[in-house]
Structure 1
Amino acid sequence: MDNNNEFIHEDEQKPSDFEPAQSQTISPIRGFFWLERSLSDIYAPNFKGWFVAALIYSLLTNFIPALLPASSFIMAIVNPLLIAGLLLGADAVYKKQGSVKPLQMFEAFKHKNIGQLVLYTIAAILMVFIATMILMSYIGLEVINGIDMARIEAGDEQYGMSVLKKVAPAIPWAALLAILISLATWFAVSLILFSNQKALPAIGNSFVGGLKNFFAVLVFVVVLIVCLVVIVLITSLILSMFAALIANPYIQVLINVVINALAVPVFIGVTYIAYREIFLGDITKSENSL
């Protein structure tokens, strides 16, 4: 049963910049409302600001790495800090305490918990590295080293299928590891920013909160997949009308940047709303319901 603000306690004598967080189990159907509340409470009230900020974010994380592949690694390292900046924007919009700035993604660099955000980033990279090593060991280094990527990129279907058969046993384990890492990292940044938690406890609490609400997460994923299928179909129809124009790889990158600029704020909003519902008990109907 959903309770409004059950876990929120305000101390009028000693106001705090942070909100205490305790994970709770919420109704699985809330997974649908995360998307609805993200659009109505976070995205719509400041659409222009979000688009500009997300466009700059997409240029940094997509366009520049496409032009300078060597920068991809650097962007992967700083990306959690950039996401933290966008989450601060979501918090300001939700609480009606400000708007999204063009360089919103850099706001976390001057946050008082920047040290914990950096520590979280290191821990997240380490988790991904360990998961990668586990999968590589399971598949076998000989198999991995023997894969000819040039033949796959050239469209050799028969060779591609043979490679797929070799790595297929590792796919379920890859999916499991991806789910575990996602649950451990999804709310960690929000817990550090808004609940003043340390990096490692935040990762643990994120995992527990996500696991307790796995079915709500599953509902959200299903809704997201349906929406993505519809959007992809519509986008494909539109882009097919300009097939000759988008054949240029740079045009394709620009299209991806614009699509990301439209999509990123939605995911930021979902993350923020899900954090508030699971950890703060803030389950309310949007005043701006779409």
Structure 2
Amino acid sequence: MNEQDNNPYQAPEADIQTPENEGELLATPNTVPIGRGFTWLEKGISNTLKPQIGMWMLIGLVYVIISLVLNFIPIINMIVPTLLAPVFAAGLALGAHRVYTGEKLEIGQLFAGFSLPQSSQLFLFGLITIVVYIALFMLMFAFVGFDFITLMMSGDDPDPAVISSMMGKFILLIPLGLIAGVIFLLALWFPPTLIGLHGISAMQALKLGFKGATKNIGAVVVFLLMLIVLGIAVGIIFALLMGIIGFISQTMALVLMFIIMIPLALLAVGFWAGTTYHAYRDIFIGEE
């Protein structure tokens, strides 16, 4: 037995069974028209979420409960959710594929990633994500943190020059943070789906996913803008309803808030799984 046989982070060498009708992974990701960003949103809702909306809500409920439990546990809430996120995402991608092929979605779909031969690569990608988070935090801390600690530990009145310097750094940090956030999103969006559906290694998925996302930055921007517009529209409608009903009864308005917000929160998991899956097929399979 050689040393690689015991390496849990090595990509599986055995033939991975690609899900039925999944299609071949393109060696070079497609470049799609920017309007496809809207198509991903539309297909995610109509083709993935709508056909089995009740089961997606149940899956969303399970995910919300798990997330709440993990986030209430000290120390664990800083590591485990991020470590498990790619495994859950892979299971949801497999669920979206089941809907795409006309199969019945099951409530256990959320946990499907744990039973995959390539699950170690999903955990490794989660670990990579944690390392990147820590690196970004340390860079931010190095940029503004030392002056802040000096200011807090001095016990004297704040030096106006130090405060002015810190404000300048914070202002500069805003655009830098936005740029880093976009790069982070582009890098992390597709790898769990690529690992889950094609069994490639975490590093391969990271490189291929980032390449596919950056090649289609226009469509990604349209997609994100549509999400913002959709969120604003829902918020305005919700605020109007709450305002009108609030004049009649504040209790009724509170009940309405729960009736509307809870289902929307539960559907967010299926919505994101569907839009991600159709974006993935468009860019990496070329069969949308």
TM superposition score normalised by structure 2:
0.77
CA contact (8 A) 2:191 2:209 kept: yes
Instruction: Give the C-alpha shift of residue 254 in structure 1.
Output: 9.9
Which has the greater radius of gyration?
Answer: 2
CA distance in 2, matches of 1:239, 1:114: 45
Change (3 A) 1:176 1:110: same
Aligned to 2:24: 20
1:59 maps onto 2:80 in alignment: no
Instruction: Give the C-alpha shift of residue 168 in structure 1.
Output: 2.0
Change (3 A) 1:196 1:77: closer
The correspondence for 2:232, drawn from 224, 229, 232, is 229
Change (3 A) 1:82 1:137: same
Aligned to 1:219: 222
Change (3 A) 1:21 1:141: farther
Instruction: Give the C-alpha shift of residue 268 in structure 1.
Output: 1.1
> Does the residue aligned with 1:140 lie in a helix, a strand or coil?
helix
> Does the residue aligned with 1:167 lie in a helix, a strand or coil?
helix
**Partner amino acid, structure 2, of 1:31:** G
1:264 maps onto 2:265 in alignment: no
CA contact (8 A) 1:89 1:100 kept: yes
1:200 maps onto 2:203 in alignment: yes
Aligned to 2:36: 30
Aligned to 2:4: none
Instruction: Give the C-alpha shift of residue 245 in structure 1.
Output: 5.2
CA distance in 2, matches of 1:146, 1:81: 42
Aligned to 2:99: 93
> Does the residue aligned with 1:81 lie in a helix, a strand or coil?
helix
CA distance in 1, matches of 2:229, 2:150: 37
Aligned to 2:111: 106
Q: Identity rate of aligned residues, in percent?
A: 28
Aligned to 1:78: 84
CA distance in 2, matches of 1:66, 1:257: 19
**Partner amino acid, structure 2, of 1:136:** F
Matches within 5 A, 1:113-124: 113-124=118-129
Change (3 A) 1:104 1:188: same
Change (3 A) 1:89 1:145: farther
Change (3 A) 1:259 1:170: same
> Does the residue aligned with 2:231 lie in a helix, a strand or coil?
helix
1:70-126 per-residue CA deviation (whole Å, 9 max, x = no partner) reads 553232332222222111111111112x32222321111111110111111111111
CA distance in 1, matches of 2:169, 2:253: 33
1:186-229 per-residue CA deviation (whole Å, 9 max, x = no partner) reads 11011111122110010011110000000000111111111100
> Does the residue aligned with 2:61 lie in a helix, a strand or coil?
helix
CA distance in 2, matches of 1:181, 1:79: 15
**Partner amino acid, structure 1, of 2:265:** N
CA distance in 2, matches of 1:227, 1:92: 26
TM superposition score normalised by structure 1:
0.77
Aligned to 1:45: 51
Aligned to 2:141: 136
> Does the residue aligned with 1:225 lie in a helix, a strand or coil?
helix
CA distance in 2, matches of 1:252, 1:77: 32
